[in-house]
């Protein structure tokens, strides 16, 4: 019995080590995704998901599946500068069709808080900005592709922007599951695109 008990943690460790990334976007259409919120438009172009601002409030293109612990990597680029974000462990309030949950910020403004951690919802709030992380603020590109990594494991959330560590936060009361979402912030103009969206379940 002792040998079997020792084998179980080892098997779990080996499973985690051999987990393979899964593509959340097939590069051809938006199968597996659903739009909530405002009237921004999403479509597929040259192997990318493109989002363009439309009328109404913030809009989110969200995975139909929910994820718990994961390591997510993707590339994004602004076509027209606008605020955006990547939702994770998120949910939708059915009556309002409004999305809430953790958001990895995509910020083109001068403060440059991309990959800071925001909580989207009726009472949105910053959890951890990049005020005290100058290397992370300087890692953003406004004209080229940016690589983002988000790791959520239990209560610990980490983000990286173009290989630079940004956030390392432990939530004392964490959201533990939810979908992944691509935000186009409400406003009059703006467009951006995402590609190579891959998630490894932990």
Domain ranges of the chain: 22-201
Low-confidence ranges of the chain (pLDDT < 50): 1-6
CATH topology of domain 22-201: Jelly Rolls (2.60.120)
Q: What is the pLDDT of residue 192?
A: 97
Distance set, CA 36 to CA 92, 137, 138, 178, 193 (Å): 8, 30, 32, 14, 18
Q: Where are the alpha helices (DSSP H) in 39-178?
A: 134-137
Q: What is the pLDDT of residue 36?
A: 94
Spatial separation of the C-alpha atoms in residues 42 and 2, rounded to whole Å: 54
- CA atoms within 13 A of residue 22's CA, in its CB half-sphere: 10
Q: What is the pLDDT of residue 1?
A: 46
Measure the N-to-C terminal CA separation of the chain; round to a whole number of Å. 27
**Nearby residues of 8 by Cβ (< 8 Å), 6 or more positions away:** none
Q: What is the pLDDT of residue 123?
A: 80
Residue 142, judged by CB atoms within 10 A of its CB (0-12, 13-18, 19+), counts as: exposed
Q: What is the pLDDT of residue 121?
A: 86
CB 72 within 8 A of CB 63: no
Residue 17's SS3 state is helix
Q: What is the pLDDT of residue 10?
A: 57
Residue of 103, 105, 73, 75 whose CA lies nearest to 89? 103
Q: What is the pTM for the complete model shown?
A: 0.90
Q: How open is the CA angle 12-15-20, to the nearest 5 degrees?
A: 150
């Amino acid at each position: 019995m002792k040998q079997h008990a020792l084998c179980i943690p080892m098997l779990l460790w080996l499973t985690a080590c051999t987990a393979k990334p899964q593509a959340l976007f097939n590069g051809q259409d938006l199968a597996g995704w659903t739009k909530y919120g405002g009237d921004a438009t999403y479509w597929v172009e040259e192997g990318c998901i493109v989002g363009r601002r439309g009328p109404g409030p913030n809009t989110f293109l969200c995975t139909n599946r929910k994820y718990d612990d994961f390591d997510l990597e993707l590339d994004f680029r602004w076509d027209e500068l606008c605020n955006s974000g990547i939702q994770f462990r998120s949910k939708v309030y059915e009556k309002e069709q409004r999305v809430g949950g953790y958001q990895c910020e995509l910020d083109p403004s001068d403060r440059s808080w991309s990959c800071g951690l925001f909580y989207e919802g009726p009472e949105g709030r910053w959890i951890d900005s990049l005020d005290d992380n100058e290397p992370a603020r300087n890692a953003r590109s406004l004209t080229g592709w940016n690589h983002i990594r988000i790791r959520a494991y239990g209560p610990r959330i980490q983000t990286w922007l173009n290989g630079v560590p940004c956030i390392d936060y432990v939530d004392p009361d964490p959201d533990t599951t939810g979908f992944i979402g691509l935000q186009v912030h409400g406003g009059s103009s703006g467009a951006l695109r995402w590609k190579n969206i891959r998630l490894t379940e932990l």
